[in-house]
Amino acid sequence: ILNVEQSPQSLHVQEGDSTNFTCSFPSSNFYALHWYRWETAKSPEALFVMTLNGDEKKKGRISATLNTKEGYSYLYIKGSQPEDSATYLCALSSGGSYIPTFGRGTSLIVHP
Amino acid sequence: DGGITQSPKYLFRKEGQNVTLSCEQNLNHDAMYWYRQDPGQGLRLIYYSQIVNDFQKGDIAEGYSVSREKKESFPLTVTSAQKNPTAFYLCASSIARQGASGYTFGSGTRLTVV
């Protein structure tokens, strides 16, 4: 079972703050890295799927970067809003099975 | 609208009983998955299926069974052999070999053994 680590486990920020969190993973046999947002009482929603080293993806105020050589991805939220409050999951697909392994998530709470 | 429907949302089961969780999708996705979430843990894969009439065990398949008789449906049975079945169960689907595309998730079923 692959070891996908997310940090921090939880984060409290004020509205308007920018924030970022990390997903670390084994760099060998990399295939794809996924980010999901999971709001309370809703289904997890796909944010990004990244496959190439150096990939940068953006969706509104949220962006992500990928470094497959060193085994990490950053998720950035610019100007956090209360509606950004959610758990952010990353998941790694590696060659072999392609089925992603999920990290434990980072819980973000944005205070008005 | 296309999506995944899981039912029921909440389920209570007596010890020693089998129970089946429903998962239906109308996205025409080939692959479907069952995950389990426990407090403080990441999503753990129970079973997956990449094509009709075929499925594979995930990391924690013991005490569970599945079937994939139709592309749209992937029910999960929690058997009495599952030692700790109380958990939140999520179903997902994707285009086959989904490493390059994300999952679509259902809204989950919370199972409690009483």
Contact A93 B98 (CB under 8 A): yes
* CA–CA separation, B66 and B91 (whole Å): 12
Outline where DSSP puts E strands in chain B.
4-7, 10-13, 19-25, 31-37, 44-51, 54-57, 64-66, 76-78, 87-94, 104-105, 109-113
Contact B102 A99 (CB under 8 A): no
Note down pLDDT in tens along chain B; length 114 residues: 679 999 999 999 998 899 999 999 999 999 999 999 998 888 999 999 999 999 999 999 999 999 999 999 999 999 988 889 999 999 999 986 656 678 999 999 999 998
Contact A51 B100 (CB under 8 A): yes
Pairing of strands B44-51, B54-57: antiparallel
Which residues of chain B neighbour A105 with C-beta distances below 8 Å?
42
> To which residue do tokens 């679509």 refer?
B104
